[in-house]
Structure 1
Amino acid sequence: MIKWVAAFLGYFVLRFPGAILGFLIGSFLDNLNGGGSRDARTIFREYTQPNVSPADFELNLLSLCSIIIKADGQVSQKELDYVRQYFLSTYGKEKANAIFRTFNEVIKKREISAQRICSYLTQRTRYEVRLQLLHFLFGIAQADGQISKAEVNKLREIAGYLRLGAHDFESIMAMFIKSADNSYKILEIDKNASDDEVKKAYRKMAKKYHPDRVVTEDEAIKRGAEEKFKEVQKAYETIQRERGIS
């Protein structure tokens, strides 16, 4: 109701431009008073906190996806399908198709600055969210069956720009590139660690990667947190069986 009154008053002050301005201001006030479709606290948070907006997050995520897909010098259809499925499962068919059209344009661009994108995200997202983002990018790189050296190098570069620790990078990489001491790498400990150190590392990693710590509206990133949390649990259970830890 407020938006229409504001639009009417705006028209008499500034004619058509005033009507538009009044409508926008009135819409905002309607939402604050419970007349909109979103909770007033959500509206207030979006206008006052420096976090990245959903639209900006999607655009920057698309750009990082394109960087990883092109990292080894070729565009893999399987990697493209992986990204498409991500958006389909997250946003539904209609919005996903619209987003993917933008993605097709993004991936055609010759130069996209990973450092600029990561700097933007680092200032506006929590550390835990950036960990999940790296996990998702590793998933893209693995979608064609293997992660090339060029892709690992690019992922390591992006992790640095996102200000993620070296141990965290190695832990996430171990979830995708298997090795003999894979479980220990995931828990960020040495293979010679004592049983008590293993238990302590598990508690630390389980706390760090718990999905509840990932504050984001992006459902796929939340699912990534759950997957990574399960990988930590699996790594600990593997070591438990090998050592007979109770």
Structure 2
Amino acid sequence: MVKYIAAVIGFAYKGFFGAVTGYIIGSIIDTFFDTEGKKNPLTSVFGGSQQVSPGDFELNLLSLASLVIKADGSVSQTELDYVRGYFVQAYGKERANATFKTFNEVIKNREISAQRICHYLNQRTRYPVRLQIIHFLFGIAQADGTVSNAEVNELSSIAGFFRVNRPDFESIKAMFVKNSESAYKILEISSTATEAEVKQAYRTMAKKYHPDKLQNMDEAYRKGAEEKFKNVQDAYESIRKSRGFK
């Protein structure tokens, strides 16, 4: 609506070019303030028409976190504390509290669709950010000391909706679910890989998980990227030492 008013005002003052300029400025205002009554991103994901003040990204992220927390049929306080600590670190206490309050009032009792949320975020985030979200969600699952099969299944579904490559998912999973093959899985290679293949895999994964990929994100995300990067380094060192090459 604003764009049409602005176009008329612009025409009155500057003729045709004023009308064009007014229309463009008005369109920006319409988009920013949602003056035409269009659904905001949260409405399209969760349904309803509730307006929210916290960022859509935080609320969508918290919704995915809630799916992981509830995946094994119980709600762990340590997992809840992990999520709250992460949000406070990433967004500050005031914004984190606003996010949790809005989630509890607006979203908590509604059906949360991981598929819809991921579809929304896929259009607005780069692949390294989605990898970091999976890493964060695995951190939640591990917060109580163990990652259950139900949590892995939920995380696998979310990764699929995020279009995360299976080797990348298995790499991040191996950072939290340890076994004799974990170091190789983190580097996305098999235990039969040659020395040259191990070194090449290390260079590739170090580049993929380098913290600079998330340099424009909040501190919590950069910290998560540093953790992934360190896991890659540790995996390589473990293989290098066990095989005895330099």
> TM (normalized to structure 2)?
0.76
What corresponds to 1:201 in structure 2? 201
8 Å contact from structure 2 (residues 91, 218) kept in 1: no
Unaligned runs of 5+ in 1: 1-8, 10-24, 30-53
The residue type equivalent to 1:115 in the other structure is: Q
> TM (normalized to structure 1)?
0.76
Q: In 2, Cα distance between the equivalents of 1:156 and 1:89?
A: 26
8 Å contact from structure 1 (residues 62, 106) kept in 2: no
Q: In 2, Cα distance between the equivalents of 1:222 and 1:64?
A: 20
Q: In 1, Cα distance between the equivalents of 2:222 and 2:106?
A: 24
How do 1:10-159 and structure 2 match up within 5 A?
55-105=55-105, 108-159=108-159
Q: In 1, Cα distance between the equivalents of 2:107 and 2:151?
A: 16
Unaligned runs of 5+ in 2: 1-8, 10-24, 30-53
Cα deviation per residue 1:212-235 (whole Å; 9 max; x = unaligned)?
A: 122643321221111100100010
Q: In 1, Cα distance between the equivalents of 2:198 and 2:186?
A: 11
8 Å contact from structure 2 (residues 90, 221) kept in 1: no
What corresponds to 1:224 in structure 2? 224
8 Å contact from structure 2 (residues 141, 147) kept in 1: yes
Q: In 1, Cα distance between the equivalents of 2:108 and 2:92?
A: 24
Q: Secondary structure at the match of 1:79?
A: helix
The residue type equivalent to 1:202 in the other structure is: Y
Q: Secondary structure at the match of 1:193?
A: coil
Q: In 1, Cα distance between the equivalents of 2:213 and 2:161?
A: 21
The residue type equivalent to 2:187 in the other structure is: L
CA drift of 1:107 comes to 6.6
1:190 paired with 2:190, answer: yes
Q: Secondary structure at the match of 1:73?
A: coil
Cα deviation per residue 1:24-48 (whole Å; 9 max; x = unaligned)?
A: x7xx99xxxxxxxxxxxxxxxxxxx
Q: In 2, Cα distance between the equivalents of 1:65 and 1:203?
A: 31
The residue type equivalent to 1:209 in the other structure is: Y
The residue type equivalent to 2:72 in the other structure is: D
CA drift of 1:106 comes to 6.0
What corresponds to 1:239 in structure 2? 239
CA drift of 1:162 comes to 0.0
The residue type equivalent to 1:65 in the other structure is: A
The residue type equivalent to 1:134 in the other structure is: I
Q: In 2, Cα distance between the equivalents of 1:192 and 1:116?
A: 39
8 Å contact from structure 2 (residues 60, 117) kept in 1: yes
Q: In structure 2, do the counterparts of structure 1 residues 128 and 230 end up closer, same or farther at CA, with 3 Å as the change threshold? A: same
In the alignment of these two chains, the number of paired residues is 202
Of residues 177-186 and 208-217 in structure 1, the stretch that sits farther from structure 2 once superposed is 208-217
The residue type equivalent to 1:155 in the other structure is: L
Q: In 1, Cα distance between the equivalents of 2:217 and 2:116?
A: 22
8 Å contact from structure 2 (residues 210, 226) kept in 1: yes
Cα deviation per residue 1:120-148 (whole Å; 9 max; x = unaligned)?
A: 11111111110000000000011111111
8 Å contact from structure 2 (residues 87, 96) kept in 1: yes
Q: In 2, Cα distance between the equivalents of 1:63 and 1:169?
A: 20
Q: In 2, Cα distance between the equivalents of 1:128 and 1:88?
A: 22
Cα deviation per residue 1:31-88 (whole Å; 9 max; x = unaligned)?
A: xxxxxxxxxxxxxxxxxxxxxxx81211110111111111112211111100111112
The root-mean-square deviation of aligned C-alpha atoms, in Å, is 2.5
8 Å contact from structure 1 (residues 126, 215) kept in 2: no
